Amino acid sequence: MLIEKLCKEQNLTDDEFRTLLETDRYDDALREAADAVRREHYGTDVYLRGLIEFTNFCKNDCLYCGIRRSNKCASRYRLTEEDIMACCKEGYGLGYRTFVLQGGEDPYFTDERVCQIVREIRTRYPDCAITLSIGEKSRESYQAFFDAGANRYLLRHETADPTLYSRLHPAELSLENRIRCLYDLKDIGYQVGAGMMVGCPGQTTDHLIRDLRFLQELKPDMIGIGPFIPHKDTPFKDEQRGDLYLVLRLLGILRLMFPWVLLPATTALGTIHPQGRELGLKMGANVIMPNLSPVSVRKKYMLYDDKICTGEESAQCVDCLERRVTSVGYQIVSGRGDVKR
Ligand code: SAH
């Protein structure tokens, strides 16, 4: 009855969420319910987001992340505006109508430079959504990017627990500022994506319940979750990766809590299991974010070990994904794939 209640009320008590998260007893029922809700709101459609990883320079030092400032082994790169435009051109030809510019927090990309790139994409591809994922900025910067033509912003909250947050991040970063950013972005008019890393060091079920409560307050348009995966050149190199089934359970729960939400089957999920993304789609996920970055830099944007899809050309990725998505009964659709609230 837990699943029926969650379907009906889009909510449960903390104790009920704990039960759902900590046993595998409900997995089949959860998958059936999540898939039914997803079909009701989005049919069998799967939306693509072309991910352009345009810089791996970062001024931050997040303990889990492979491109953290202190990782001296990382080979750093930045794409030029021409490189980025070439990625968009390739992506547009392959049917992508959303471009996601993601990167480390790289001071080289000043507001002026980011706005210039956004304006250029906006002019050339007026029918596409432009998503930024470049970390914490001032409200003024977010406004400037929005005015230049950006529509969406991905900024995972990572964890909604301030103590755990401070164990994962250097002292100069705070959960408070991350949350300030998310509300500023919403207020400006962006479609916003938040989300947490599942199974990061020190995380308990109670932390995850806190994440669910935070998401209930924020009501983001998109929720990106994936397993934590250690990176060999970070302080967390010897930590356990996040559990596949826990991520899947959370996807199902999120689909039932937020029937209209955009829910990606993430690359990290595909990294911990060969069919991870397919399993995610069956649990209510409806978005995939293939890599559009030039193959020459893909291995350098290593947030965690063994990241998949770092060798293929973009066109090959589309073929492979097409097969994977149809194998579980869904279909890739071209188009911006806006949220259906
Ligand atoms: N600088 C941007 C983009 C960060 S990379 C920002 O601050 O938002 C995108 C996401 O990758 C992060 O939000 C984090 O949730 C995830 N990530 C980073 N390192 C990871 C790891 N070791 N395992 C799993 N996910 C990771």
Distance CA 186, CA 142 (A): 10
The Cα angle at residue 270 between residues 265 and 275, in degrees rounded to 5? 95
Residue 256 in domain:
yes
Residue 204 in domain:
yes
Residue 2 in domain:
no
Residue 340 in domain:
no
Cα-to-centroid distance, 54 and ligand 1 (Å): 14
Residue 136 in domain:
yes
Bridge partners (DSSP) of residue 197 are: 226
What tens digit of pLDDT does each residue of 266-318 get?
999 999 999 999 999 999 999 999 999 999 999 999 999 999 999 999 888 99
Residues counted in the chain: 341
Cα-to-centroid distance, 30 and ligand 1 (Å): 27
Can you spell out the DSSP letters for 145-196? HHHHT--EEE---B-S-HHHHHHHS-TT--HHHHHHHHHHHHHHT-EEEE-B
Q: Count structural domains, the chain.
A: 1
What's 133-154 look like in SS3? ECCCCCHHHHHHHHHHCCCEEE
Residue 168 in domain:
yes
38 lines ligand 1 (CB under 6 A): no
What tens digit of pLDDT does each residue of 246-271 get?
999 999 999 999 999 999 999 999 99
268 lines ligand 1 (CB under 6 A): yes
234 lines ligand 1 (CB under 6 A): no
CA 136 to ligand 1: nearest atom:
7
pLDDT reported for residue 314: 87
What tens digit of pLDDT does each residue of 211-235 get?
999 999 999 999 999 999 999 999 9
pLDDT reported for residue 315: 86
Residue numbers of the domain that contains 272: 13-333
Pocket probe for ligand 1: among 60, 65, 304, the residue whose CB has the most ligand atoms within 8 Å is 65
Cα-to-centroid distance, 255 and ligand 1 (Å): 22
What tens digit of pLDDT does each residue of 112-147 get?
999 999 999 999 999 999 999 999 999 999 999 999
Q: Domain of 196: which CATH number? A: 3.20.20.70
224 lines ligand 1 (CB under 6 A): no
What three-state secondary structure class fits 86? helix
